[in-house]
Chains A and B, each alone.
Chain A
């Protein structure tokens, strides 16, 4: 017989060895495949959503800009808010009757300009001139001025102005630059200019109103945030599991089980309890910085409380301590089937970083996404020891540093008031495993709930 013939025979025999596995094996494999696929999809959406939201917002803004440039009567650029009176030519009586003199409108001269906002909003404007560069004494050029289709440089101004008659005087889109409102009028009856001046002032106000948010936009504000909702232990991105337990992956082997506890037996093996979602809340103080275009960034400090619950069984207090990993345990819960609800509580201090995008100028709606780095500060949570079928406390099994991803929508109330509020749904997922992987596998902290935010700070 050739050498290794024995091995060859064994190999051949073993190649024939086949068994049909139970259906449960495939079910678990299929479940894991599904969860991994869902996790991938969610992650892709998580990453894509801010990009899509930002991109859509950018397209919206660009389109709005182009539309406004193409629309008659809508200047593409905010107009100068200061309208000065031209020197030596605006005083009545100094000029010949029937002649034209440039009258530069000083905004302070215009009574009731606020009442004429509606007129301005309709897009009527009397005259516009390009402002000369700084240093020019008049501040004006002699470019075309149009009021109701009348060239005021060439023709005398009417002594009375009919507002309706001015409607055709929409100004074509203007080239880029700063503008000042200018009217050239007869000094014989300055009062007749009032309606025109008012219209111009209104337009100036309107321009200012457009410009105001940019000029006086808040740079920074303080935010108090509170979240409340439910927390659970998820397997990957899947929803919190109640059955089978989050503990069910425990102990494919670890030194934790290598002890004998007083009062425990190896005989009765009961599956571990399911872990149910519990109450969670957070509170944070943060500073928010506006970056323009509706974007803002925020950072702060947050305290987070999460809880879950389980049926812990019978409590055992033993006078004899036993070695449990790096610590000694004298008190534990025996998984006896006795219904004894226990609340696992987890406490973290976190540093949340948040990006927020306002969905449209002056829109109360916003989308936010964020990351937070958390530090585990304490827990009364029970850990499960499969071989001994007991629950015990051991905070060394936690991953002490947690990275969370979050996203949500908000609606802002009292938007233009000094104290305003925001509220909306929020979802948070613990990217880092809550426990060390070798203990329970892929277990993450998940939070879903509502957030309430209060803003205060100088405008």
Chain B
């Protein structure tokens, strides 16, 4: 990752080639992050674009502590959350009703899907569930932090997460069963 620190130094000197190189180094993974939070590829690219504009704007604030990738990823996640809050297409669906706490199941099924298939399943979750699942399960934010980020109660975050998790697991199990049936039918 020494390369990325060097690239950041060069970017701060205003070298266009370094800016392009930094973008190319991180853009594919960051588009994956944005993709998980949105419902369409175009929206994901919009978030990526806004996120990278912020990255270059605030690059001088990156003090070299920690991984550049993690810093850029945090910016992408924040940008994605803001995008969801501001975009009318998500606004109506992005609600976090207070619900009774749903017990977190102990189910830990094996995930046999590839990354793209799993991402598609996550994106099929309702936007509220999708966001909280992404933030907690994948980014590792605590429910307290998620509550602050989304302006909701910690309990609501927990409840929504457990429901999202249960829903996702049920879908995974269904797919697994379907795959088994298909394999029996076509040995």
Contacts and interface: CB of A to CB of B under 8 A. Distances in A.
Interface string A1-28: 1111111011101111111111011101
Contacts of A162: none
B111 A10 contact: yes
Nearest to A16: B115
Contact of A19 (B23, B28, B106): B28
B54 to A, nearest CB: 10
B108 A5 contact: yes
Given A30-B19, A253-B86, A387-B88, A21 B28 contact: yes
B45 interface: yes
A393 interface: no
A17 B32 CA distance: 5
A17 B118 CA distance: 9
B29 A18 contact: yes
A191 interface: no
A375 interface: no
Contacts of B45: 21-22, 24-25
A7 B137 contact: yes
Contact of B36 (A7, A16, A17, A30): A17
25 contacts: A1-B108, A2-B108, A6-B137, A7-B137, A9-B110, A10-B118, A10-B137, A14-B32, A14-B36, A14-B118, A14-B119, A17-B29, A17-B32, A17-B116, A18-B32, A19-B28, A19-B44, A21-B27, A21-B48, A25-B52, A29-B49, A33-B16, A33-B56, A253-B85, A253-B88
Nearest to A26: B23
Nearest to A7: B137
Interface in A14-62: 14-22, 24-26, 28-30, 32-33, 36-37
Given A10-B118, A11-B138, A17-B32, A25 B20 contact: no
A11 B83 CA distance: 23
A251 interface: yes
A37 B19 CA distance: 13
Contact of B91 (A26, A32, A36, A253): A253
B88 A254 contact: yes
A378 B45 CA distance: 38
Contacts of A84: none
Interface of B: 14, 16, 19-20, 23, 27-29, 31-33, 35-36, 41, 44-45, 48-49, 52-53, 56-57, 83, 85-88, 90-91, 106-111, 113-116, 118-119, 137-138, 140, 165, 169
A258 B89 CA distance: 10
A1 B108 CA distance: 7
B53 A20 contact: no
A13 B118 contact: yes
A18 B118 contact: no
A65 B138 CA distance: 74
A132 B43 CA distance: 88
A258 to B, nearest CB: 7
Contacts of A22: 45
Given A6-B169, A29-B52, 17 more contacts: A6-B137, A6-B165, A15-B29, A17-B29, A17-B35, A17-B116, A18-B31, A19-B28, A19-B31, A19-B35, A24-B45, A25-B45, A26-B23, A26-B27, A29-B23, A252-B87, A257-B88
A14 B27 contact: no
Contacts of A10: 111, 118, 137-138
A20 B49 CA distance: 13
B14 A37 contact: yes
Contacts of B107: 6
A252 B28 contact: no
B109 A6 contact: yes
Nearest to A257: B88
A254 B91 CA distance: 9
Given A10-B111, A17-B36, A36-B57, A25 B87 contact: no
A14 B135 CA distance: 12
Contacts of B109: 6
Nearest to B116: A17
Interface string A234-271: 00000000000000000111100110000000000000
B86 A30 contact: no
Among A2, A10, A25, max chain B CB count under 10 A is at A10
B82 to A, nearest CB: 9
A2 B106 CA distance: 10
B158 to A, nearest CB: 14
A10 to B, nearest CB: 5
Among A16, A21, A28, max chain B CB count under 10 A is at A21
A13 B115 CA distance: 5
Contacts of B113: 13
Nearest to B82: A252
Contacts of B36: 14, 17
Contacts of A252: 83, 86-87
